[in-house]
Structure 1
Amino acid sequence: MAPSFLYHPVQLSPAAALELAQTAPAVLKSSPSSVSSSPLFSLVGGPEKSEQWIQFENLILACLRTGDDQAARKCLERLVSRFGADNERVQALDGLVKEAMANNNGELEAVLKEYERILSENDTNIPIAKRRIALLRSMGRASDAASALVELLDFSPTDAEAWSELSDIYLSQGLYPQAIYAMEEVLVLAPNAWNIHARLGELQYMAATASGSAANGSHQKHMAEAVKRFSRSIELCDDYLRGYYGLKLVTKTLLSGEDAKTPKQTDEGGFALPDRSTLEKLHELATAKLAEIVRRAAAKERGWRGYAEADVAAARELLAQDTSAVQR
């Protein structure tokens, strides 16, 4: 069965995205080549459904993902016909198609200049501002992308997507404190998002295991925060694989190191590393739940089929390390 047009193509597997893109010719053939933007058109042509425009937008993304640039361009023409070339969302999609069809750095620079021209006329065009940031990053200009994101967040400080992207850019540059700060801002905007808690736990763990963390005294604080964030993620979502994976990894690291033997230091937020007994219980809990997820996902049991294959494979490998350690 073909995937739903209402699913964002980024959420689909490569095979599902290809299947969706292959429906483009039939969809284009069954829809009019031009649609009037006049409100009187609905009186003649029947009521308009918003789903059909989501369908074209998702088809554009699926076609670009699978290399069918021509079909993506034809879908874009439908949106231009309906909403006009000056529509901000349409402008961003048009830029995305041009980026995908660019053959060299010079053509990408031309697209970048077009974004800057549009923003010079309207600096509140958020979709274009985000496309410019994405293009800067794809061209290897991470510092420029970070600066542009900071400017965007000055204008729109409640944009969780922008904070998350800024965190990812800082992480790619090895700037762990800045990456953690930006992700904490995401958590302020979405305090019950279990995936964000787990992501923050991952950042804290990476900061704790980075070179120099032990020397500057931040190692134990980061590890304590990682335990707290992973624990919160599985509290919010009982079957969240990444939360259990992170909790097992961080408790395993703590139990095999010196942290569980040293006196606990309370951080500024009032949270200290749990004692060894608590860490062992958390490790056992994470191990048992990961084993259950791997077993039931591999068996494709009903209700356990939504896990990414790569995540399940990583969990299986982490569990296998315990087995090999016992055998040795």
Structure 2
Amino acid sequence: MVADRRDWTTVSFEEGREALKEWREEHARRSEEVVELWEHVLSRSPSSLADELCTVYEQVCIAALDCSRTDLAHECINALHKRFPGSSRVLRLQAMFYEARGQWKTADDIYEKLITADETNPAYRKRRVAMLLGQGKRLEGIKALVEHLESFITDSEAWLQLSELYLAESDYARAAHAMEEVLLTAPTNSIYLRRLADIRYTQGGQENVEVARAYYEQALKFSPVDLRALYGIVLSCNTLVATARVTPDKKREYMTAAAAALARIQERYESVEPEAANPEEHSNIMEAVRGMEIH
């Protein structure tokens, strides 16, 4: 949902209450608006929130941390702590509060306590990873993420993040492995297929480029309008044609595939009226497409 620019300071109590509930259900962060609603509307009569009060306190606390309003976050945490002393959810908010203030050691001690108390909850381990990355400790973050995945091997979000971290370290082999784990949970996701193809193409070598071409073609099956996958096929085929060990039959196969992909690219661009985009940009694109060499 696209955020509107409504003035939330003037809404009624019930409107504000319903807005916070709707954003929670939609998992919409909208932090500035949450803080605005709380301070100007809902905080005037928090007891009227009844059973929702603690949920709202948690929502407002996270929003306040997003907005660097540690004063408001501290108020929410204190209110929650009075009602639920020793609660793991409140402790997690406290750790996030210390993170926001740069008190990393204190935050880490709390996360360690939470992990020891509940080793089945992945959220605490992932917060530690986020904390390490927030400090610029990428290698330590990678190590912590690998340890997390040893216990939660099906966490596709963690595998995706690990792949990105390995890419930042130019460790393409491990980045590819992590991306393959992501694909196990979403084998028809064209974006993931193309991302893995990009990694294998970057690794280089005939075998990797062959695999890259296959993934580009698979991505195209699930997303026929994916221009980046089409370009990937052209680049992969042209690279393979130039390989010394390529047989004549394979060379013809690559040339045919590249030509077909180029034809589809050109068809896509020619279907766009020059007036619909910048005419000069359209002309340059068409010239570049026609000039792509097929060996």
TM-score (ref. length: structure 1): 0.63
- 1:33 and 2:62 correspond: no
Alignment pair present for 1:247 and 2:230: yes
Q: 1:272 to 1:200 in 2, by over 3 A?
A: farther
Is the contact between residue 183 and residue 193 of structure 2 (CA under 8 Å) also seen in structure 1? yes
Structure 1 residues 134 and 259: alpha-carbon distance in aligned structure 2, compared to 1, 3 A threshold: same
SS in 2 for 1:22: helix
Distance 1:25 1:254, change over 3 A: closer
1:134-153 matches, within 5 Å, as 134-153=130-149
Any idea what the Cα deviations from partners look like across 1:266-311, whole Å, max 9, x if unmatched?
xxxxx99952111221233245447779999x88xxxxxxxxxxxx
Letter of the 2:208 partner, please give it. H
Among the aligned pairs, what percent are the same residue? Answer: 23
Counting matched residue pairs gives 266
Contact 1:167 1:182 survives alignment (8 Å): yes
Distance apart, 1:128 and its partner CA? 0.9
Aligned twin of 2:32: 21
More helix by share: 2
* Distance change >3 Å, CA 108–CA 319, structure 1 → 2: farther
Aligned to 2:100: 100
The one-character-per-residue Cα deviations of 1:55-90 (angstroms, maximum 9, x if unpaired) are: 8766655554454444555566677678776244x5
Unaligned runs of at least 5 residues, structure 1 = 11-16, 37-44, 209-218, 266-270, 300-315
- Listed one character per residue, the Cα deviations across residues 246-280 of structure 1 (whole Å, up to 9, x for unaligned) are 431x234346x552244548xxxxx9995211122
Task: Tell me how far apart the structure 2 counterparts of residues 84 and 77 of structure 1 sit (CA, whole Å).
Answer: 10
What's the RMSD between the two structures over aligned residues? 4.4
The correspondence of residues 121-132 of structure 1 with structure 2, limited to 5 A, is 121-132=117-128
Q: Which of the two has higher C-alpha Rg? A: 2
SS at match of 1:251: helix
Work out which structure has the larger RCO, using CA pairs closer than 8 Å and 6 or more positions apart in sequence: 1
Check if 1:233 corresponds to 2:223: no
- d(CA) in 2 for partners of 1:9 and 1:294? 37
Q: TM-score, normalised by structure 2?
A: 0.68
Is 2:249 aligned against 1:259?
no
The 1:258–1:123 alpha-carbon spacing in structure 2 relative to 1, beyond 3 Å, is closer
Q: Which runs of 5+ in 2 are unaligned?
A: 5-21
